[in-house]
Structure 1
């Protein structure tokens, strides 16, 4: 395959992972133990070898240049079979929580597949099997990572690829000038009420505590019809709002201004494998449910409108032309020990629709999928909302320092969802 350099955004994601680990963990549960595990693993390995995007590692050997995607044959060393001492659904989630501390080294391998061949008590299935794709974030955002996982488990179709050329350093002055001019237009359009204003920052709460102590994974599985007329994303945000606000009040916190940081796909052509931005939305916990749903939906609509302004595309074009040493220097200035009294959101809520229930592992069919957004120095509680077919899983990733009693919080969340 042709050696390609990482885009500026993907290189930034890779360099930042040294300070804030960012591997994604995409979990898929299947409706029965696999009859012939060796054969099922061979099929997965063969499919990996047929996908060029899964046959890469990162070479980053020169300070003055961007890292490159270099060929690396997908091999058996990237598939790990686990035999659980506690072979229950919660035991499996606890094992996955332990894997979070073992990030892949993308200079060696950009992904790893963890297989749990015999798990009892799976939601929607009873006894079954679980596979978890661990993938470095530089290789893809939630949409792209989900497409790569779907390829491994038998779905036909292309993985989202880059559709635009990256900028050259020589273009930076012109693009920086264009970005500045577009930003001034954004300010004028905002002042004139033509574009929604930027989201307001929120006071940091206990959920923003630096992760410390044990980290937990939990998941609530429900039917898509549970969300009624609201989208799954909005319905999940409304439920998380009530559950998290009630939980924080138990610690003496005031969640009146509770908000969430939500990854949102960017408009326009895909310039990088990570084609999204994080936006802040209010969660309005003090409003009754129907009003809360409308307000959250309106906030998301405003964030989408602002994201389509030409200033955002101009800013992305300028970033694409930043020389590698300058961007590397900027990333190196990030201080993970710094604290802030305000935040974009008091939790992260990442929502991805993973398509139809057309995936399989051996002779077992997929029954549910979920994921667990990573924690960071200013984010001790995150949520994943993932749907496949008509099944939705709302998951929690939280540290003791931020959540306290995780099971008490899960009970609140289950009540709001059911």
Structure 2
């Protein structure tokens, strides 16, 4: 639905002349503030004259888009950025997103939704039964890969996040990270594995051998009728028990490729289609059930994952600007979850790429130490692994 409200109603002019560390503290405050999509799904904050921004000479203007996840999803963020900083004459398209509706009668839409709910519940139950039968048949035929273990050791990263947030950004030169036989995601996961192992060794007295990250995988070959969020959440083993960095990188890459295969086939497509058929009346109940199971698993000392790693492709060095000034870099901060109190987001834009980190002081009290370990890990990768 198109929103014709003046942009000034959603534009917030923030502090002038902040230091980079002060700006990150402000981002932490914004990240700790949930947005209600029913009243205001997005807002733009503009910070002027921010000093000592990494890789920027002089002061910088920073534009922050704060949005509800109900509105903003990974595949659509690049399109939103092109609206803000790209050519205003270029058409904007988001794969999987239908045409804009100029007007929506909320009462009529609610009535139609209520009328369709019984039939929707029946269709969902039928589709769910068919999906279960298909999985059992593939398992019987031996064509389904065995599911990985979902019971892993609990770490401080799985602790309660509290009300505070800590945001950090690491600038990355992608060209220096390209390694032979490794994808960029594989390199990033290896660096995160190395840094987290060292951090947990220092802060928690040891790192569990089953350290794992939830990685968002773009299903680029999936049909567009699945919608905007054609993403799979794959739990990738980080193998901190392997001391040799080249061997660990190759093993992490193999784990990532296995998860890509599992989450890019017809079964994965049907799984997303099934989720899309979920009646909205069931979503709150299923969400509560998931959190309840997660809390019960924590009580037993069990975790499904330890951190989250997502990525957004801006398609190379995006020629974007604002008021005649070129884009320096972009960053994004996926929200923390009840399972993981540490999230990462890589934004690929050529030499303007970055890796952002969001956590909580209740989960990671020494975030700057973790950032330093990350930077050291990437330096070790470039020094010990063969370039592409």
- Band of TM-score, shorter chain: 0.7 to 0.9
Aligned-partner SS, 2:328 = strand
Matched residue, 2:158: 208
CA change 1:227–1:161 in 2 (3 A) is: same
CA change 1:332–1:206 in 2 (3 A) is: closer
Tell me by how many angstroms 1:214 deviates. 4.2
Matched residue, 2:279: 323
Gaps of 5+ in 1: 2-51, 56-71
Distance across 2 between alignment mates of 1:328 and 1:402:
27
Tell me by how many angstroms 1:333 deviates. 4.1
CA change 1:330–1:285 in 2 (3 A) is: closer
CA change 1:405–1:315 in 2 (3 A) is: closer
Matched residue, 2:209: 256
Matched residue, 2:93: 158
Q: Which of the numbers 32, 36, 39 marks the counterpart of 1:105?
A: 36
Is the 1:240–1:413 Cα contact (8 Å) retained in structure 2? yes
Q: Which of the numbers 366, 376, 386 marks the counterpart of 1:405?
A: 366
Tell me by how many angstroms 1:81 deviates. 1.3
Aligned-partner SS, 2:171 = strand
TM-score, structure 2 normalization: 0.81
Equivalent runs, 1:167-206 vs 2, <5 Å: 169=120, 171-188=123-140, 192=142, 194-201=143-150, 202-206=152-156
TM-score, structure 1 normalization: 0.75
Aligned-partner SS, 1:338 = helix
Higher relative contact order (CA 8 A, sep 6+): 1
Per mean C-alpha deviation after superposition, the further-off stretch among 99-108 and 324-333 is: 324-333
Distance across 1 between alignment mates of 2:374 and 2:232:
26
Aligned-partner SS, 1:186 = helix
**Deviation per residue, 1:176-218 (Å, 9 max, x gap):** 33212221133235xx3x4432232221211111113742111
Equivalent runs, 1:40-51 vs 2, <5 Å: none
Equivalent runs, 1:258-337 vs 2, <5 Å: 258-266=211-219, 267-270=221-224, 271-287=226-242, 288-335=244-291
Tell me how many residue pairs correspond in the alignment: 345
CA change 1:330–1:79 in 2 (3 A) is: same
Distance across 2 between alignment mates of 1:204 and 1:380:
12
Is the 1:208–1:402 Cα contact (8 Å) retained in structure 2? yes
User: Structure 1: which 4+ aligned runs deviate by more than 6 Å?
Assistant: none
**Deviation per residue, 1:150-175 (Å, 9 max, x gap):** 22212534123347xx9961533442
Is the 2:43–2:65 Cα contact (8 Å) retained in structure 1? yes
Matched residue, 2:71: 139
Distance across 1 between alignment mates of 2:24 and 2:129:
49
Tell me by how many angstroms 1:312 deviates. 2.8
**Deviation per residue, 1:265-321 (Å, 9 max, x gap):** 235224233322211001112332222222122112111211233333333333333
Per mean C-alpha deviation after superposition, the further-off stretch among 380-389 and 210-219 is: 210-219
Matched residue, 2:314: 354
Quote the RMSD (CA, aligned, Å): 2.6
CA change 1:207–1:335 in 2 (3 A) is: closer
CA change 1:378–1:321 in 2 (3 A) is: closer
CA change 1:407–1:173 in 2 (3 A) is: closer
Gaps of 5+ in 2: 99-115, 380-388
**Deviation per residue, 1:360-379 (Å, 9 max, x gap):** 11111101111122112221
Aligned-partner SS, 1:402 = coil
Greater percentage in strand: 1
CA change 1:140–1:364 in 2 (3 A) is: same
